[in-house]
């Protein structure tokens, strides 16, 4: 069963819903994406199917659906599970048995100016307690940096508050927490009916430098998945036990330091990687993540690795630089952007007048040809934008 909403319903997800005749909650957004598809299901019938239970599972491509879940599914455990993941303060409290020494504090936006940064070891991270897409995330490396950080957060709160619903990006409460060091990964996972985690993909999050919080490039490959599959599964078993997760999908972000210590950054409820990044699982491994979750399928990783070899598959999120006024963009040179990659798989154009992104691009790379991703990481991407004169 599917809850489909903005900001983006990929053709791959739409075709999956139609091909499998999956019940989709009938809303203006889902109707716009699926047309007159008979799988569109009225609210009353959708709730009846959920109450009926059985083997039915629920998936949402967007956290925009959180309000509907809270208003309509109080007879299930889902709203509480969503809260544990979406509220980063609640998430930290839930994980306290795993990380009893981890330092964090929730602070309202209106009280950030009263915080003494000397109370926290440096560097520390501040981000919205209800967040998305690395929006409003800052790394503070010194006490002197704190006043400018607070000013920047206030300005961001004014400029981006209208782009996402409050249940997706809340800018009234922030969490200050210690930095989790190490290489960053993201995991698309579901917990089955017995509470066992099933990993569908592991993504490595690439950054241009150690201080960046950019969400631009993710990759997956055998070298990313194979050495992490067992240890991530064990950690997710413990998370699932603490949260009481069953028949539940999530996108979980974590870091692993040089000593192999694992620290969870955050969990995103009821969905896999945001926008259309979850489709990377199909491009990389030939596994449809939506069908895998809804039909309780498990990847045969040994067979997949043998078939795919050492190929690296990436997704690039072509974001607009902060200094770019979308109203000044006359056009985007999508051909030049695509030509930066030796083996592009699919380009998906995004309406940059609504969101600060102009494309998602999936590509393949030989392990020896990762320089093209490094160049994209270090670019502000304005070279692909034709801007109107001031």
Which among 292, 284, 234 has a CA at the least distance from the CA of 264?
234
Q: How far is CA 243 from CA 27, 79, 148, 231, in A?
A: 30, 12, 37, 19
Q: 157-198, pLDDT tens digit by residue?
A: 766 555 554 444 456 789 999 988 899 999 999 999 999 999
Residue pair 270/59 in contact (Cβ under 8 Å)? The answer is yes
Half-sphere exposure of 360 (CA within 13 A, CB side): 21
Q: 233-249, pLDDT tens digit by residue?
A: 999 999 999 999 999 99
3-state helix, strand, coil in the chain (%, to 5): 35, 25, 35
At the topology level, CATH places domain 183-387 in D-amino Acid Aminotransferase; Chain A, domain 1 (3.30.470)
Domain with CATH 3.30.1490.20 in the chain: 98-178
Domain with CATH 3.30.470.20 in the chain: 183-387
CATH superfamily of this structure's domain 98-178: ATP-grasp fold, A domain (3.30.1490.20)
The pTM score is 0.89
Give the per-residue pLDDT at 163: 53
Give the per-residue pLDDT at 274: 92
Both tokens of 152, joined, read 């920047």
- Cα 62 from Cα 133, distance rounded (Å): 12
Question: Residues in the chain with pLDDT < 70?
Answer: 54-55, 131-135, 158-171
Q: 350-359, pLDDT tens digit by residue?
A: 999 999 999 9
Give the per-residue pLDDT at 168: 45
- Cα 303 from Cα 231, distance rounded (Å): 20
């Amino acid at each position: 069963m599917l809850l489909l909403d903005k900001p983006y319903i990929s053709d791959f997800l739409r075709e999956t819903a139609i091909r499998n005749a999956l019940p989709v909650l009938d809303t203006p957004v889902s109707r716009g994406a699926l047309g007159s598809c008979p799988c569109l299901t009225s609210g009353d019938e959708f709730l009846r199917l959920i109450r009926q239970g059985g083997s039915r599972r629920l998936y949402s491509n967007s956290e925009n659906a959180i309000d509907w879940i809270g208003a309509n599914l109080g007879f299930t455990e889902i709203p509480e599970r969503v809260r544990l993941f979406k509220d980063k303060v609640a998430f930290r409290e839930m994980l306290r048995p795993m990380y009893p020494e981890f330092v964090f504090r929730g602070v309202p936006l209106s009280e950030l100016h009263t915080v003494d940064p000397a109370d926290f070891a440096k560097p520390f991270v501040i981000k919205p307690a209800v967040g998305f897409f690395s929006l409003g995330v800052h790394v503070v490396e010194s006490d002197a940096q704190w006043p400018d950080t607070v000013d920047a957060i206030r300005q961001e709160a004014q400029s981006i508050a209208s782009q996402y619903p409050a249940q997706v990006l809340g800018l009234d409460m922030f969490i200050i927490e210690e930095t989790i060091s190490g290489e960053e990964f993201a995991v698309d996972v579901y917990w089955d009916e017995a509470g066992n985690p099933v990993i569908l993909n592991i993504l490595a999050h690439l950054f241009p430098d150690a201080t960046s919080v950019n969400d631009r490039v993710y990759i997956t490959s055998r070298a990313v998945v194979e050495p992490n599959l067992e240890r991530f599964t064990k950690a997710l078993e413990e998370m699932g036990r603490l949260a009481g997760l069953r028949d539940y999908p999530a996108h979980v972000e974590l870091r692993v330091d040089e000593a192999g210590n694992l620290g969870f950054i955050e969990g995103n409820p009821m969905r896999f990687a945001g926008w259309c990044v979850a489709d990377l699982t199909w491009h990389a491994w030939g596994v449809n993540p939506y069908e895998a979750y809804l039909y309780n399928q498990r990847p045969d990783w040994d067979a997949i690795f043998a078939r795919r070899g050492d190929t690296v598959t990436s997704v690039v999120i072509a974001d607009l630089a902060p200094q770019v006024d979308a109203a000044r963009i006359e056009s985007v040179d999508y051909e030049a952007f695509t030509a930066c990659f030796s083996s592009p798989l699919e380009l998906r154009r995004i309406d940059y007048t609504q969101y600060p992104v102009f494309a998602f691009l999936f590509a393949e790379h030989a392990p020896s040809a990762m320089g093209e991703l490094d160049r994209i990481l270090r670019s502000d991407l304005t070279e692909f934008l034709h801007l109107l004169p001031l």
